[in-house]
Structure 1
Amino acid sequence: MLPWIQLDSAPIPGESGELRLKRRGSEFSIMLGSNELMNNRLSGSEEALATLTYEKIRKHPRPTILIGGLGMGFTLRAALSVLPESASVIVAELVPAVVNWARGAMSEVFQGCLDDPRVTIHQGDVGELLRGRKDAFDAILLDVDNGPDGLTRRSNDRLYDAAGLRAAKTALLPDGVLAVWSSGPDAGFTRRLCDCGFAVEAVNTRANGKRGGARHVIWLAVK
């Protein structure tokens, strides 16, 4: 079996940890310590984050979408595959190196999707981008950290607390959707969404889509 080779590492702004990009043949992995955050062979649930959301906003004309977290581009590519040419997609990515990896070492994984004219990259915290916005987005897709239970960055918890959810709701247009990816269920988070006035659906999905894999959860919260 081919050995893993570390290609690069990058600090996480505001935290002591660092991300590590590794490769083994055609397989890529992004690690935080001993935890694998993502792998290009396991993309099913991240793709579902985009496609399930689009089903909720299919009738919205000229949709504007905010994606929190670039990762390996699974959610972005899936969104571009279903969104109309009139759509706009803003991707907020906190770690500059992740964008560099997308254009460099992992360019074969991203397949040029960052060059799609519908896409704008925002370098920074998605939570800061949301705050103060009103009726700005048809959908907000959060694939940040490990879900509501933060792993990579403690301040990510502010995205998922009551104040963060209210900010997201304010930033959504009427009938807009807040979609949240998580590595597992969280009954408390479901309650917080409901308490903020969202109509909430929690969807179980698999890491590798129809081929199985670990069980993940996607919340679809409609304003």
Structure 2
Amino acid sequence: MTAAYDSPVVLDRREGPYGEVVLRRHGALLQIIANGCFLMDTSDGRSEQLLVDAAHDALDGRPAPDVLIGGLGVGFSLAHATADRRWGRITVVEREPAVIDWHRTGPLAELSRGAFADPRTEIVEMDLVTYVNETSDTFDALCLDIDNGPAWTVTEGNDGLYAPGGLASCARVLRPGGVLAVWSAEPSPEFEGSLRNAGFRQVRTEEVAVARGVPDAVHLAVRPG
């Protein structure tokens, strides 16, 4: 194995509205780093796919549901949603213009070109916290993947999203019976309690085993009808 393979290579580094964002290549993988914190790479999209599928399954056959995806990342969630013709409108909110650029014209375009071209797809450049507080739009499902988990946020401003006020905003953008799905790098019983205290029902957690360490998790909750 060569040193060139072992050492990450920075493809782009930008100062975004919330700090530094970096796209780098490590062997065959593309990785996104924000303010020195590893966010995700292109190695394994199973938990992001579960995020989308579990949200749809919890809707119990609702026809052509609209989904709001919080965070574009490497595009796994969006690509999986557009591959499923059962979804209706697919809206992605991403706050980092660099990440959107990497998908439109950069190294990540190969992974997301088809998803971006899907007529159901809309990309909104905005902070998700701001979006759920200000939008008048509503959705059948909200899939959140903007942090490493409720207790491991990328920026301090995201903390409030998992607190009572933020969860109330998430519920506000959901239609009655709508599903909130939250990706986390580890299961969080405390967050399950927060969801119940915020008025959500049918709270549960699904896990995806990883090669090392604790499993990834998707927390699911339903807004009462």
Letter in 1 for 2:13: S
Q: How many residues align?
A: 216
Residue 21 of structure 1: aligned partner = 23
Q: Distance in 2 between matches of 1:7 and 1:150?
A: 26
Q: TM-score, with normalisation over the residues of structure 2?
A: 0.88
Q: CA deviation at 1:42?
A: 1.9
Partner residue in 1 for 2:91: 90
CA distance in 2, matches of 1:48, 1:108: 22
The unaligned stretches of length 5 or more in structure 1 are none
What is the correspondence of 1:132-211 to structure 2 with a 5 Å cutoff? Answer: 132-133=134-135, 136-199=138-201, 200-207=203-210
Report the alpha carbon displacement of residue 118 of structure 1 after superposing the two structures with TM.
Answer: 0.4
- Residues 118 and 176 of structure 1: is their aligned pair in 2 closer, same or farther, counting only changes over 3 Å? same
Cα pair 2:91 2:124 within 8 Å, conserved: yes
Give the whole-Å Cα distance in 2 for the aligned partners of 1:135 and 1:112: 25
Letter in 2 for 1:206: A
Aligned partner of 1:218 in structure 2 is 218
Comparing 72-81 and 2-11, the one that deviates more: 2-11
The one of 8, 15, 28 equivalent to 1:4 is 8
CA gap 1:213/1:60 in 2 versus in 1, 3 angstroms = farther
Bigger mean CA deviation after superposition, 70-79 or 49-58: 49-58
Q: Deviations over 1:34-53 (max 9, x none)?
A: 54211101211111101111
Residue of structure 2 in register with 1:113 after alignment: 115
Amino acid at match of 2:207: N
String of CA shifts for 1:22-71, please: whole Å, max 9, x gaps.
11343211123554211101211111101111111252223111000000
CA contact (8 A) 1:134 1:172 kept: no
- Contact 1:193 1:221 survives alignment (8 Å): yes
Q: Secondary structure at the match of 1:77?
A: helix
Q: Which runs of 4+ in 1 moved over 6 A?
A: none
Percent identity for Structure 1 against Structure 2:
35
**1:185 offset after TM fit, Å?**
2.1
- Report the CA distance shift for 1:42/1:170 in structure 2 as closer, same or farther (over 3 A): same
Query: Alpha carbons of 1:101 and 1:92: their partners in 2 closer, same or farther (altered >3 Å)?
Result: same
**Residue 112 of structure 1, CA deviation:** 2.5
Cα shift at 1:135: 7.3
Gaps of 5+ in 2: none
Give the Å deviation of 1:89.
0.6
Contact residue 142 and residue 179 of structure 1 kept, 8 A: yes
RMSD between aligned residues: 1.9
Letter of the 1:181 partner, please give it: W
